[in-house]
Amino acid sequence: MNWRVPLSDLILSTEDKTAVMNVLNSGWLTMGDVTQHFEEAFAEMVGVKHAIAVSNATVGLHLAVLALQIGHGDEVILPSLSFVATANAVLYTGATPVFADVKNELDFGISIDSIERQITNKTKAITLMHYGGNLCAMSEIMALARDKGLSVIEDAAHAPGASVDGVNAGAWSDIACFSFFSNKNLVTGEGGMITTDRDDLAEKIRLMRSHGMTTVTLDRYKGHAYSYDVVDLGFNYRIDDVRSALGLAQLEKLEANNRRRREISDRYRLDLSEVPMLSIPYADHPGISAAHIFPVLLDVGVDREAFMDGLKAEGIQTSIHYPPIHQFTYYRERFGETHLPVTEEIGGREVTLPLFPTMTEEQVSLVITCVKSAVETGMMRLEI
C-alpha cells in the first residue's frame, strides 16, 4: 500500500547516518565502546545506575524475569492488553503469566484492584506496561508490590522519556525494558535496553546477555583478558555497535520528538473531541507522556472494520493496540478461558491513528477530516 498517512514513519537524519557510517568505517561492528556510550547516556536520561543494551525488548523482558530468579511454579501478574512479548517472556522461563484487567476506558493501564485479586502464594512479580507512553499508577503499584514482597518489571517499550511524579519510566521498578523497534520513539531497527538501579540484577543480566561468559570479545581485544569462564546458562542477546550508534544519535532527538508527538496528540484530542460515537483516553493523565501511539475508542454502535476500511480508502493506515493476549489461540488452548471485561471491551473497540514526529499539519488535518466521515461509515455498516 502506498499510504498517504502511514501509522508511523521514520526519516533518518544526516547525523543518524553519519553515526552509523562512523562505526562501519571503524572496523569494530559488534558490541563495544559505542554500545557502552549508548548505555551510559541512556542510564543518565532515565536516571538509573545501569542500562544494558540488548538485541530487542523481548529478550530484555526474558532476562528481566530470569534475573529475578522467577521460573517453574512461579506466577507473574501482567496485563493482557499488551504486545504478546510481555507474556511470552514469562513463559520462556517456565513461570506462569496471570492476566490482570486494565483500569477503565479512559486509562488502559493495569488495574490495582485486579492485581490484588490475582495475587496468590505463587506470585513473584508484577509486570506492567506503560500503554501509549502514559505511565501506570506507579506510586500505588510500587507500594502494593513492596507491601506484598513482589518484584516489579516495567515494560517500557512505549515510554522512553515519559515520567510521572518527576520519575522517569524505567526508574520506578526493579527492572525495566525498552524497545527500539522501527516504529518506536527511539529507533535502532531491532534493539532494546534494560534499566535497573540494582547492582546484583545488572551483573546477572550482563552475564546472561552474553552466554554466561565472564569476559566479552572487547575485553580480550583490549588486552584485559585471554580467556573466560562460563558460569551460567546464558544467551546471545547482545546488540551491536552499528545499532548502538543509531541509538545514540536518536537519543539526542528523543525529547524534541516526544514533544512533537505530544503536540500532534493535543491537536487530535482537541479536533476530535466533538466527534460523536468516539472517545479518547488519557485526557487528564498525570505526568509527561511519551505519546507513542494515539488510541481512540469507538462506541458499540460503530463497526470497527468499516471505520478502518473508511480510513484505508483515504490512504490512512490504522492499527489495533491490542488484540488481548488471553484471547489468542495459543493462550486459550494452554490456559483455558479467562474473562477480563475492560480489556475485552477495549480490545474490541480500540483503533490507533497515525502518529509520528515528522507528520505534517496537512497529514494531521487529513486524518481528522477522514475520521469524522469514517465514523459515519462505521455507523451505517452496523445499521444495514
Give the contacts of 303 (CB within 8 A, at least 6 positions apart).
378, 379, 381, 382
Q: How far is the CB of 181 from ligand PLP (least distance, A)?
A: 4
Is residue 184 among the annotated active site residues?
Answer: yes
Q: Which of 83, 99, 237, 331 binds ligand PLP (CB under 6 A)?
A: 83
Nearer to ligand PLP, 124 or 130 (CB): 130
Long-range Cβ contact pairs of 118-124 (< 8 A, separation 24 or more): 118/77, 119/77, 119/148, 119/150, 120/75, 122/73, 122/74, 122/75, 122/96, 123/74, 123/75, 123/76, 123/77, 123/98, 123/148, 123/150, 124/68, 124/70, 124/74, 124/75, 124/76, 124/95, 124/150, 124/151
Q: Answer yes or no whether residue 192 interacts with ligand PLP by CB under 6 A.
A: yes
Nearer to ligand PLP, 189 or 301 (CB): 189
Give the contacts of 116 (CB within 8 A, at least 6 positions apart).
144
Identify which range of 77-85, 91-99, 162-170, 221-229 contacts ligand PLP by CB under 6 A.
77-85
In angstroms, the Cα distances linking 190 to 4, 212, 225 are: 25, 22, 30
Nearer to ligand PLP, 8 or 265 (CB): 8
Instruction: Tell me which H or E stretch contains 304.
Output: helix 304-313
Q: Which of 127, 134, 179, 258 binds ligand PLP (CB under 6 A)?
A: 179
Identify which range of 9-17, 26-34, 79-87, 300-308 contacts ligand PLP by CB under 6 A.
79-87
Q: Answer yes or no whether residue 181 interacts with ligand PLP by CB under 6 A.
A: yes
Q: Which of 52, 95, 136, 157 binds ligand PLP (CB under 6 A)?
A: 157
With contacts defined by CB under 6 A, how many residues of the chain interact with ligand PLP? 14
User: What count of other Cβ atoms lies within 10 Å of the Cβ of residue 212?
Assistant: 16
Nearer to ligand PLP, 85 or 251 (CB): 85
Q: Answer yes or no whether residue 56 interacts with ligand PLP by CB under 6 A.
A: yes
Catalytic residues: 184
Q: Which residues bind ligand PLP (CB under 6 A)?
A: 56-58, 82-83, 85-86, 129, 155, 157-158, 179, 181, 192
